[in-house]
């Protein structure tokens, strides 16, 4: 192969996932010839244009749990290559049968890279091809130049990990390698982080503890307010929005891990006696607890809406293992309709495509003006379902209400693999829509900017937020 072609071939492969090579290089000649006679655009040509556009386009990353860079540099927790495999992939390992004590050791501080590999090795073949496994492998390849994990490569992966994790690596990994403009970080405790990199790590206000429980300590204590009535607790919620509302990009709740999102508008008079009982540490019934939470949910949502903050809600699949009640998740999309109807002025972002009930979520976005969808996390839960979701969404619901990427990770290295899987899925979805004759190549290309960053910039008013954040006391 001539050097020029080899280079362009290599650089076109770079930037896409493990499967990207086949997709991008197109089909064998005979397939192209027959497909070209059926489709308005030759597949390889459409793919080339779309993949190239998607590769060059920046993401707004609408959902992460990234800790501050200083915490990665100076923390006393585990600090080795296993962090690149931490979180979601650990759940796949347990589901594959890894014993809890091996799991604990693998993610602990202490064991050498080869000792850790021995713990991982029996389960690695079972998980290396899941979305979680592929994301980890792509990160390792892109960041450390190692194609796959093995006894022979773990030391090299560890050396790569240490070489990269230096002051300034957040910006390098996210912006230069991941082509990400900014992230939206969700921290539950504290509910808002005064970041040292505030325009790169933009923040949601976590509202979950304002109503679930509520969490008197984590949300009440920092305000320094005395809480002896429901009105006092409203004052606590007001305090958070007054302090951080102008700097936050959204309000966020992952309460769907605990109950359905069927929050019914409930008056203060119904919630007040229950709140009193809670303050006096008396027991309350399940119905009373629901009434209190429902009331406080809507109070927090009304504050978010006053502050022009969209409300992000977890829907669908659960992180972790051996605990997800699928029967409850089944009701998330139906309840999402009720929320949209109850608060037409509040933009809701339903996260994670409500996996596995994603058809239902498309119908919610098609019907309700204030229903938006956030594909965060979806690309690694099930890459093919996410691609399928995006294809169907784009020919069903308005294209201005979808945001397509959030890594949903704690460690910045992990975002790289997820972002490349998302780019591959977006490029494939658009290419297939063109090849199947649903979209013209021009229509497909025109969707790239809005779904990768334009919609997010508008929905979260990022220009305005950036200005406000630059003037924040901690900026
Ligand atoms: Zn999350």
What pTM value is reported for the model?
0.91
Contact indicator for 301, 343 with CB cutoff of 8 Å: yes
DSSP notation for 62-111? EEE-PPPHHHHHH--S--SGGGGG-THHHHHHHHTT--HHHHHHHTSSS-
Q: How high is the pLDDT of residue 43?
A: 56
Average pLDDT in the chain: 92
Q: How high is the pLDDT of residue 17?
A: 42
pLDDT digits (tens, 9 = 90+) for 50-102: 999 999 999 999 999 999 999 999 878 889 999 999 999 999 999 999 999 99
Q: Which residues of the chain are modeled with pLDDT < 70?
A: 1-43
- The span from the CA of 199 to the CA of 465, in Å, is 9
DSSP notation for 257-324? GTS-S-PPP--HHHHHHHHHHHHTT----HHHHHHHHHHHHHHHHHHHHHTT--EEEE-S--SSSS--
The CATH label, of 3.40.50.150, 3.40.50.880, 3.40.50.300, 3.20.20.140, for the domain at 169-470 is 3.20.20.140
The Å distance, Cα 414 to ligand 1 centre, comes to 13
The Å distance, Cα 408 to ligand 1 centre, comes to 5
- The span from the CA of 107 to the CA of 298, in Å, is 39
DSSP notation for 416-470? HHHHHHHHHHHHHHHHHHHHTTSS-HHHHHHHHHIIIIIHHHHHTTHHHHHHHHH
The Å distance, Cα 38 to ligand 1 centre, comes to 42
The Å distance, Cα 397 to ligand 1 centre, comes to 24
The Å distance, Cα 65 to ligand 1 centre, comes to 6
Q: Which percentage of the chain shows pLDDT scores above 90?
A: 89
The Å distance, Cα 357 to ligand 1 centre, comes to 18
The Å distance, Cα 215 to ligand 1 centre, comes to 19
Contact indicator for 337, 364 with CB cutoff of 8 Å: yes
């Amino acid at each position: 192969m001539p050097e020029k072609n080899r280079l362009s071939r290599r650089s076109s492969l770079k930037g896409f996932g493990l499967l990207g090579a086949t997709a991008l290089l197109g089909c064998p000649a005979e397939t192209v010839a027959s497909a070209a006679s059926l489709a308005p655009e030759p597949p390889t040509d459409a793919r080339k244009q779309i993949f190239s556009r998607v590769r060059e386009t920046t993401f707004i990353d609408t959902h992460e749990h990234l800790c501050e860079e200083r915490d990665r540099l100076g923390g006393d927790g585990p600090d080795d290559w296993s962090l690149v495999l931490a979180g979601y992939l650990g759940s796949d390992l347990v589901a594959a049968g890894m014993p809890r004590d091996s799991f604990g050791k693998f993610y602990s501080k202490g064991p050498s890279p080869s000792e850790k590999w021995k713990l991982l090795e029996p389960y690695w073949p079972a998980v290396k091809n899941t979305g979680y496994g592929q994301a980890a492998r792509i990160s390792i390849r892109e960041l450390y130049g190692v194609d796959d994990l093995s006894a022979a490569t773990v030391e090299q992966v560890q050396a790569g990990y240490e070489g990269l994790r230096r002051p300034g690596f957040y910006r390098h990994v996210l912006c230069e390698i991941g082509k990400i403009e900014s992230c939206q970080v969700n921290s539950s405790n504290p509910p808002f982080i005064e970041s040292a990199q505030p325009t790169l790590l933009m923040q949601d206000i976590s509202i979950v503890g304002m109503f679930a429980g509520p969490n008197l300590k984590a949300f009440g204590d920092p305000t320094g307010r005395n809480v002896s009535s429901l009105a006092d607790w409203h004052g606590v919620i007001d305090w958070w929005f007054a302090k951080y509302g102008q700097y936050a990009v959204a309000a966020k709740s992952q309460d769907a891990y605990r109950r359905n999102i069927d929050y019914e508008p409930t008056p203060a008079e119904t919630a007040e006696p229950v709140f009193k009982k809670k303050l006096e540490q008396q027991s309350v019934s399940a119905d009373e607890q629901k009434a209190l939470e429902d009331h406080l949910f809507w109070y927090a949502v009304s504050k978010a809406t006053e502050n022009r903050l969209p409300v992000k809600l977890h829907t669908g699949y659960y992180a972790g293992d051996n605990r997800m009640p699928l029967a409850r998740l089944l009701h998330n999309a139906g309840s999402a309709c009720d929320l949209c109807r109850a608060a037409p002025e509040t933009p809701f972002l339903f996260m994670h495509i409500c996996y596995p009930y994603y058809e239902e979520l498309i119908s919610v976005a098609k019907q309700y003006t204030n229903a938006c969808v956030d594909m965060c996390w979806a690309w690694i839960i099930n890459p093919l379902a996410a691609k399928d979701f995006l294809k169907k969404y784009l020919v069903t619901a308005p294209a201005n209400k979808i945001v397509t990427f959030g890594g949903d990770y704690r460690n910045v290295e992990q975002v790289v693999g997820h972002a490349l899987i998302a780019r591959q899925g977006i490029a494939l979805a658009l290419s297939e829509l063109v090849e199947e004759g649903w979209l013209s190549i021009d229509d497909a290309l025109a969707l790239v900017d809005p779904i990768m960053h334009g919609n997010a910039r508008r929905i979260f008013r990022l220009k305005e937020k950036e200005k406000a954040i630059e003037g924040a006391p901690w900026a």
